[in-house]
C-alpha cells in the first residue's frame, strides 16, 4: 500500500508516523496548497514528493491510495476526485458532510472496484474489539454514558473574533463533527443505528456548536454522548447493564484500558496498545487491502453510513445545517 496525503495538520503527522510502524505501507507524497508548506512538510517526514495541485498529484501513477485530512467540507470533493483517478481512499472523520455525499462515494467506489475507508481510530483499537467480546457480561444493556471533552485553543480564537475552520459551519465544523463523532462511532459499533436521536448543543453566536449532548435511543436502552471543545473534563465511557458495568478509561478514540465489574468482582484489561492510536486502523486497512477483502470493507462502510445518518439527524434536530445540506 503506497499512500499520498492531502492536508498538513497534526493528524497527518500522526498518520504518517503510524504508517512507519506497519510493514508494507509507505508514503509517496504530500499535498498542501502552498509550495513552501508542502516542501517543508515533506522534508520534515523524509518524503521525496510534494504537490500543490490535487489533479497533478492524483495523476501520478506511482502510488495507489490517498489519505484525506482536509477541512471537513472538502472530504467529499477530494475523495470523489481520487476515486475517479483510480485511487483507493482513506478519509478522515467525519467521512463527509452528510449521508447523501457518502452514498455517492460508496456507489462510485464499488463501480470502480476501489477501497473506501473512514479513518476513525476508536473502533479499530484492540481494547474496543475486546470490549465487544465482553459486552454480554453486563446483562441487558440499559445506559451508555460517553464523554469526550477537550478545551480547544481555537475556542479562544473564536471568542476573540476569529472563525477557525473547526468552528465554522461553512467548513462543516463543530463539536459534534470534531469530537462527539467518535462517541457516535463507539455506540453505533456496539448497538447499531439508533431508533431516534436528538442533539442539545451550546451554540456560539455564529450558530456553530462548541459543545453538546447527543441522546441516542434504542429499544430498552439509551446512550448519552457528550462532546465539548469549550470545556475540559476527564474522558471516559460507562456501559451499564442489569448485571454489571464496563468502564472505558479514556476517550472513545483512545481507550487506554477497560474495567469490568460483575457479581461484585472487578477485572481490568490493559493490552498495552500502540502509543500512536492510528496504528491499529492502518493495520486493519492494510490487511483488507492485501487480501482484497471487499466484504470486510463493505461492512465498515455500512457502519459509516449508520453513523453518518445519525450525525445528520442529530444536526437537523438542533438546526445545525451545512452548505452541503442545501445542495
- pLDDT at residue 151, rounded to an integer: 98
Tell me the C-alpha distance between 248 and 254, whole Å. Answer: 10
- pLDDT at residue 293, rounded to an integer: 98
Are 258 and 247 a contacting pair, CB within 8 Å?
yes
More confident residue, 134 or 264: 134
Domains plus CATH for the chain? 2-118 (3.40.50.720), 123-279+307-326 (3.30.360.10)
Report residue 163's pLDDT band, with 50, 70 and 90 as the boundaries. Answer: very high
pLDDT digits 0-9 by tens, 268-322: 999 998 999 999 999 999 999 999 999 999 999 999 999 999 999 999 999 999 9
Q: How far is CA 200 from the centre of its chain?
A: 21
Q: What is the mean pLDDT of the chain?
A: 97
In sequence order, what DSSP letters do the residues of 9-32 get, joined into one string? SHHHHHHHHHHTTSTT-EEEEEE-
pTM of the entire structure?
0.97
Tell me the C-alpha distance between 51 and 85, whole Å. Answer: 16
Name the strand (E) or helix (H) holding 221.
strand 221-228
Task: Give yes or no for residue 327 having a pLDDT over 90.
Answer: no
**What are the residues facing 158 on neighbouring strands?**
none
Cβ neighbors of 276 (< 8 A, separation 6 or more) are 14, 17, 18, 21
Amino acid at each position: 500500500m503506497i499512500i499520498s496525503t492531502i492536508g498538513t495538520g497534526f493528524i497527518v503527522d500522526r498518520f504518517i508516523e503510524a504508517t512507519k510502524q506497519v510493514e508494507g505501507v509507505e508514503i509517496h507524497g504530500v499535498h498542501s496548497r502552498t509550495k513552501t508548506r508542502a516542501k517543508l512538510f515533506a522534508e520534515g517526514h523524509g518524503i521525496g514528493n510534494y504537490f500543490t495541485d490535487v489533479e497533478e498529484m492524483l495523476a501520478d501513477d506511482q502510488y495507489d491510495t490517498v489519505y484525506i485530512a482536509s477541512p471537513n467540507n472538502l472530504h467529499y470533493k477530494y475523495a470523489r476526485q481520487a476515486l475517479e483517478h483510480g485511487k483507493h481512499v482513506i478519509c478522515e472523520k467525519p467521512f463527509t458532510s452528510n449521508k447523501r455525499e457518502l452514498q455517492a462515494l460508496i456507489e462510485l467506489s464499488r463501480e470502480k472496484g476501489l477501497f473506501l475507508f473512514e479513518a476513525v481510530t476508536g473502533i479499530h483499537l484492540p481494547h474496543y474489539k475486546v470490549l465487544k467480546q465482553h459486552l454480554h457480561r453486563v446483562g441487558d444493556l440499559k445506559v451508555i454514558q460517553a464523554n469526550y471533552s477537550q478545551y480547544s485553543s481555537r475556542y479562544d480564537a473564536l471568542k476573540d473574533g476569529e472563525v477557525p475552520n473547526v468552528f465554522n459551519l461553512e467548513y462543516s465544523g463543530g463539536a459534534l463533527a470534531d469530537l462527539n463523532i467518535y462517541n457516535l462511532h463507539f455506540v453505533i459499533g456496539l448497538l447499531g443505528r439508533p431508533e431516534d436521536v436528538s442533539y442539545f448543543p451550546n451554540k456560539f453566536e455564529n450558530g456553530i456548536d462548541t459543545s453538546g449532548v447527543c441522546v441516542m435511543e434504542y429499544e430498552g436502552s439509551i446512550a448519552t454522548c457528550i462532546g465539548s471543545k469549550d470545556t475540559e473534563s476527564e474522558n471516559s465511557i460507562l456501559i451499564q447493564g442489569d448485571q454489571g458495568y464496563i468502564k472505558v478509561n479514556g476517550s472513545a478514540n483512545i481507550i487506554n484500558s477497560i474495567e469490568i465489574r460483575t457479581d461484585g468482582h472487578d477485572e481490568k484489561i490493559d493490552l498495552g496498545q500502540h502509543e500512536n492510536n492510528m496504528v491499529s486502523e492502518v493495520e486493519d486497512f492494510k490487511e483488507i487491502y492485501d487480501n482484497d477483502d471487499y466484504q470486510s470493507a463493505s461492512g465498515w462502510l455500512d457502519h459509516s453510513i449508520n453513523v453518518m445518518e445519525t450525525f445528520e439527524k442529530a444536526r437537523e434536530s438542533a438546526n445545525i445545517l451545512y452548505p452541503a445540506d442545501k445542495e
